[in-house]
């Protein structure tokens, strides 16, 4: 029933709304690429006969009524923002899958009991403002007015200003979904790792999504002349940052148990080859399926900072930018998807998600589950990110049948 040509056209068209066509996909939140993608998605929702609107955080919805218009909704969808120089499938594959499910229902005249809403989210990666999974946090009431003014992009534009410049008046009250209004949230997503491919499986049924702890570290040293300043008289912010960055890597390995720690973003100023770096700011991203592991990394990292402060005359500030605990998916829906995968003859496995997703917030207010489809060579957040369309089709069939069978 799934029309793969429509799916391919959507994915290829959305990847063209891109700030770096020469190097992967870059589509950050509330940018012109966001606007172009959003208009395309809105048009596809309208063509599918859906009622279309945006909420107070700019989540874009397409709704198809069911037998009982007052019943809670089954929400399906994903995000369409990207990282910098990322791939064409992260988020978009799940959004297009959800669109295709509703197009099939429309053309086959399939009536569901529950109303179904496709949601298109534009701030999951959090690359522009250094946060993440913002759309789902707005829906579950974990965004507040203070954050809209506090978080800034690299040009110092606040999230609120960016939304207003984009033509949106943020209304978090409107974006927060009433208790009990969502029966289930199902998100199809590329696995972004090698497990399905290594185990020759078609479908991944996610049991637990890792907890995600993100913090920013600011180091204030003293800039100076690279040639005339003696080595024993320096407050080199980049040397201190380097020690701390290496400690993130060491501590995550020491904690082990699948814990990961990454420093992916760094800014050095004045960032000139003949000037001692006076100021450095970098991100820390820590994940584990166990909260205690995430806490251990943070505690050990704080000790590292204290040791350095004792030895060096330097100012080090650490601020939390995002924390989402590990979350388990709905056993009931996983069970349904296992039966459907068996019936369709698809090889599946239960697994955890090392990537964060909006599903980890939606699980706070609805029965939530994720369907993974294989990533070629386990690659993601990379221009060569790829999922074979026949594999994606299997994931969409599982999603379609799950939506039909949810009671």
Does 132 sit near Mn ion (CB under 5 A)? no
* Complex with ligand HGY: residue 112 or 259, whichever CB lies closer: 259
281 binds, among Mn ion, ligand HGY, none (CB under 5 to 8 A by kind): none
Looking at residues 243 to 262 of the shown chain, list those that interact with Mn ion (rule: CB under 5 A).
Answer: none
Please give the structure tokens belonging to residue 139.
């829906």
| Residue length of the chain | 407
C-alpha 37/C-alpha 15 separation (Å) is: 9
Q: How far is the CB of 278 from ligand HGY (least distance, A)?
A: 30
Does 236 sit near Mn ion (CB under 5 A)? no
Q: How far is the CB of 246 from ligand HGY (least distance, A)?
A: 22
Does 91 sit near Mn ion (CB under 5 A)? yes
C-alpha 81/C-alpha 165 separation (Å) is: 18
Q: How far is the CB of 383 from Mn ion (least distance, A)?
A: 14
Neighbours of 339 (CB within 10 A): 12
Q: Which helix (H) or strand (E) holds 117?
A: strand 116-121
* Complex with ligand HGY: residue 104 or 329, whichever CB lies closer: 329
In the numeric block, the tokens 């020759």 are attached to 200
**Can you state the angle between helices 32-47 and 4-15, rounded to 10 degrees?**
160
Is the Cβ–Cβ distance between 199 and 372 less than 8 Å? no
Residues found near ligand HGY in the complex (CB under 6 A): 124-125, 132, 355-356
DSSP, collapsed to helix, strand or coil, labels residue 135 as helix
Q: How far is the CB of 212 from ligand HGY (least distance, A)?
A: 7
Helices of type H across 275-378: 291-311, 331-344, 359-362
Looking at the DSSP assignment, which residues form a beta bridge with residue 77? 119
Residue, CB closest to ligand HGY: 355
356 binds, among Mn ion, ligand HGY, none (CB under 5 to 8 A by kind): ligand HGY
Q: Which helix (H) or strand (E) holds 164?
A: helix 159-165
* Complex with ligand HGY: residue 110 or 142, whichever CB lies closer: 142
Query: Candidates 89-97, 214-222, 229-237, 344-352 — which segment interacts with Mn ion by CB under 5 A?
Result: 89-97
* Complex with ligand HGY: residue 88 or 355, whichever CB lies closer: 355
* Complex with ligand HGY: residue 125 or 202, whichever CB lies closer: 125
Is the Cβ–Cβ distance between 53 and 135 less than 8 Å? no
Does 90 sit near Mn ion (CB under 5 A)? yes
* Complex with ligand HGY: residue 100 or 191, whichever CB lies closer: 191
* Complex with ligand HGY: residue 316 or 362, whichever CB lies closer: 362
Q: How far is the CB of 237 from ligand HGY (least distance, A)?
A: 27
- The beta strand positions in 152-294, using DSSP E, are 182-190, 203-209, 211-220, 224-225, 260-262, 266-269, 275-276, 279-288
**Binding stretches for Mn ion (CB under 5 A):** 90-91
């Amino acid at each position: 029933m799934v029309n793969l040509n429509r799916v391919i056209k959507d994915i290829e068209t959305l990847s063209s709304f891109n700030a770096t066509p020469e190097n992967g996909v870059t589509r950050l939140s509330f940018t012109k690429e966001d606007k172009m993608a959003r208009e395309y998605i809105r048009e596809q929702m309208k063509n599918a006969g859906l009622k279309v609107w945006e909420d107070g955080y700019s989540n874009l919805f397409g709704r198809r009524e069911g037998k009982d218009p007052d019943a809670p909704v089954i929400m399906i969808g994903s995000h369409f923002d990207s990282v910098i120089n990322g791939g064409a499938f992260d988020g978009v594959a799940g959004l297009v899958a959800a669109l295709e499910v509703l197009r099939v229902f429309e053309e086959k005249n399939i009536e569901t009991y529950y109303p179904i809403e496709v949601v298109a989210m534009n701030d999951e990666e959090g690359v522009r403002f250094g946060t993440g999974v913002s759309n789902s946090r707005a829906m579950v009431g974990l965004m507040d007015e203070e954050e809209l003014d506090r978080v800034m992009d690299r040009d110092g534009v606040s999230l609120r200003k960016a939304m207003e410049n984009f033509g949106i008046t943020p209304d978090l009250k409107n974006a927060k979904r009433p208790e009990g209004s969502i029966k289930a949230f199902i998100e199809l997503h590329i696995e972004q790792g090698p497990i399905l491919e290594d185990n020759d499986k078609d479908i991944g049924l996610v049991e637990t999504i890792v907890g995600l702890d993100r913090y920013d570290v600011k180091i204030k040293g003293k800039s100076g002349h690279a040639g005339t300043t003696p080595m024993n008289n320096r407050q080199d912010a980049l040397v201190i940052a380097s020690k701390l960055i290496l400690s993130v890597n060491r501590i995550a390995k020491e904690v082990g148990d699948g814990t990961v720690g990454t420093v992916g973003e760094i800014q050095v100023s004045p960032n000139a080859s003949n000037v001692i770096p006076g100021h450095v700011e970098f991100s820390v991203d820590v994940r584990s399926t166990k909260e205690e592991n995430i806490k251990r990394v943070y505690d050990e990292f704080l000790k590292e900072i204290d040791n350095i402060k004792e030895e060096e005359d330097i100012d080090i500030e650490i601020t939390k930018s995002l924390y989402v605990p590990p979350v388990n998916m709905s056993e009931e829906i996983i069970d349904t998807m296992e039966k459907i995968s068996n019936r369709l003859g698809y090889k599946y496995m239960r697994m955890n998600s090392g990537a964060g997703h909006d599903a980890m917030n939606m699980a706070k207010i609805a029965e939530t589950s994720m369907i993974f489809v294989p990533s070629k060579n386990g690659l993601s957040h990379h221009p060569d990110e790829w999922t074979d369309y026949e594999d994606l089709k299997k994931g969409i069939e599982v999603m379609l049948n799950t939506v039909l069978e949810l009671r």
